[in-house]
Structure 1
Amino acid sequence: MAGATGVVGRTLIPLLRNAGYAVTGMTRTTEGKAVLDAMGVTPVLADVYDADAVGKAVAAAAPDILIHQLTDLSGGVDAEGARRNARLRREGTANLVRAARAAGVRRVIAQSIAWAYAPKAPPFSEGDPLDIEATGQRAVTVLEGVAPLESAVLDQGDFEGVVLRYGQFYGPGTWSAEPSGTAPVHVEAAAFAAFLAVDHGGPGVYNIAEPGGAVTTDKALYELGWGPDFRIGQKV
């Protein structure tokens, strides 16, 4: 798992371990390594921008599934933050995909966002196009980040690519305690979607958000068996 110490990763790890999966978590800091050690995860130190280090880390872990939950939002969501996050989605994903292909990974599950669709009357479904004509900061987010991430994961034939288009997170460790935005999703329900995607559903895109908002979620409900009301402590 890349992004294992992030808000989704820390929630996802116990779900995977309780289900019997062996988890290797990638982090670039010794502090992150200590967190993973404490969670009973095999840690590996690698910077996602270092293609050689990522390749060696994935090859050593020899995973069946690679989960990409990396973002770079620690500095906020201003223009500079958007550029950093877009670079991570573009360059970091490319390095992870290259490593997954070389290691013979069966499935790659990657985090994307549910508010990158081209303008139209909502709701938006997975078959609707991304906003490739966006301008300004939105173009940085969509054209320089989301679009290349999703293309790298989906537009190939070497592994099963799954993209989870998450709505706006709320809950423990996020920026909001209560639902906000046009397509909110509790962070624990978001982690549950990634857990289910390990061995449920076919390759492709899934909107992950609470019903009644700006995106449809029928595909995740029926193909993944996902539920937006999931919270840690429930049986899976």
Structure 2
Amino acid sequence: MKIFIAGASGAIGSRLVPLLVAAGHDVTGTSRTDTGARRIEAAGGHGVTMDGRDSASIRRAVLEALPDVVVHELTSLSAGFDFKRFDEVFAATNDMRTRGTDALIAAAQEAGTERILVQSYTGWPNARTGGPVKTEEDPLDPDPAPAVRRTLAAIAHTERATVDAGGLALRYGNLYGPGQALGEGGQMLDVVRKRQFPIVGRGTGIWSFCHVEDAASATAAAVSHGAPGLYNIVDDEPAPVSEWLPVLAQAVGAKRPMHVPGWVARTMVGEFGVAWMTTARGSSNAKAKAALEWSPRYASWRDGFRTGLGVVTAAAA
């Protein structure tokens, strides 16, 4: 098939291009820069430059490619990570999740594209009531912290627009691996090493993880499998912060994380940070595994943290 990947030089897109080329597909991938487009060419695709926040640029790129499948992997996360300024940090990505998604869907429909896959996210957007693990049938949080309201609205828009257009919204879990915030050289891993990522309260917030390579392989599977709808792309083991954070610290040679009460943490990470660490709900991958005929290589973050972060500790060197 002819496959168009918007954001093909990013974390997932750059891994997706060689997977699809190896499967025999004709892949066109976009980047904001000529350098990124050349990397796509080197991976076996056709690299084009495109502004993911400009509707005319999106339309022109899609209509020139006339793809059978459009894959939306556009993000802009270079500003780092800040619990208190979450919406501000994600402003550009949220624009791509709203106006960018609408432009891609419109262009795909105009081009006669048969299938649309769009990146979304699962984890803290889940409603923080009921059981610890949510499926795609469960609602999003009806009362998010003020710091993430615009981001949650953008995620909801992405999913609604995609499903209404007959597409698949792939809800990636918390990504980790080389080149990620939770990977060697990443901001989150650096914070863990400095013991600046504490267990808040009892650490009862449930997180679902996904190795970046598994996110790419699930997306490749969704090119030809699965009915329109929502899909949680996560590993098999949702887990509370109190369980996974010490394992992560050990994996990177750091001391055990500190414990701080919620009222202290609120001054450090705000209401949203405390909520994510104490009341978040995890996500089930049962639907994705069955419908997409996919299984994660790293079925658990336990193995992933030990071998999939791209970290070389002093003990292993």
**TM exceeds 0.5?**
yes
Whole-angstrom CA distance in 1 between matches of 2:60 and 2:174: 33
What's the offset of the Cα at 1:104?
A: 1.0
Larger Rg, first or second structure (1 or 2):
2
How many residue pairs align between the two structures? Answer: 227
What's the offset of the Cα at 1:230?
A: 6.0
Alignment of 1:133 with 2:137, yes or no, is no
Whole-angstrom CA distance in 1 between matches of 2:100 and 2:75: 10
Whole-angstrom CA distance in 2 between matches of 1:182 and 1:155: 28
Question: Taking structure 2 as the reference length, what is the TM-score of the superposition?
Answer: 0.68
The one-letter code matched in structure 2 to 1:147 is: A
Identify the match of residue 118 of structure 2 among 85, 88, 110.
Answer: 110
Whole-angstrom CA distance in 2 between matches of 1:6 and 1:63: 20
Runs of 4 or more off by more than 4 Å in structure 1?
none
* 1:117/1:131 contact within 8 Å kept: yes
Q: Which residue is 1:171 aligned to?
A: 177
Whole-angstrom CA distance in 1 between matches of 2:288 and 2:43: 28
* 2:18/2:44 contact within 8 Å kept: no
* Equivalent runs, 1:133-172 vs 2, <5 Å: 133-143=143-153, 145-156=154-165, 160-172=166-178
Higher deviation after alignment, 76-85 or 58-67? 76-85
Q: Which residue is 2:93 aligned to?
A: 85
Higher deviation after alignment, 55-64 or 26-35? 26-35
Q: Which residue is 2:253 aligned to?
A: none
Whole-angstrom CA distance in 1 between matches of 2:143 and 2:109: 31
Q: Please, what is the CA RMSD of the aligned residues?
A: 1.9
* 1:132/1:139 contact within 8 Å kept: no
What's the offset of the Cα at 1:132?
A: 3.9
Whole-angstrom CA distance in 1 between matches of 2:287 and 2:215: 15
Whole-angstrom CA distance in 1 between matches of 2:227 and 2:127: 24
Q: Which residue is 1:8 aligned to?
A: 12
SS at match of 2:283: coil
Identify the match of residue 228 of structure 1 among 296, 305, 317.
Answer: 296
Whole-angstrom CA distance in 1 between matches of 2:106 and 2:169: 17
- Among the aligned pairs, what percent are the same residue? 39
Whole-angstrom CA distance in 1 between matches of 2:71 and 2:228: 14
Identify the match of residue 211 of structure 1 among 222, 236, 239.
Answer: 236
SS at match of 1:31: helix
Identify the match of residue 124 of structure 1 among 134, 143, 149.
Answer: 134
SS at match of 1:7: coil
Whole-angstrom CA distance in 2 between matches of 1:94 and 1:132: 23
Alignment of 1:25 with 2:29, yes or no, is yes
* 1:73/1:85 contact within 8 Å kept: yes
* 2:52/2:74 contact within 8 Å kept: no
* 1:72/1:81 contact within 8 Å kept: no
Whole-angstrom CA distance in 1 between matches of 2:297 and 2:69: 25
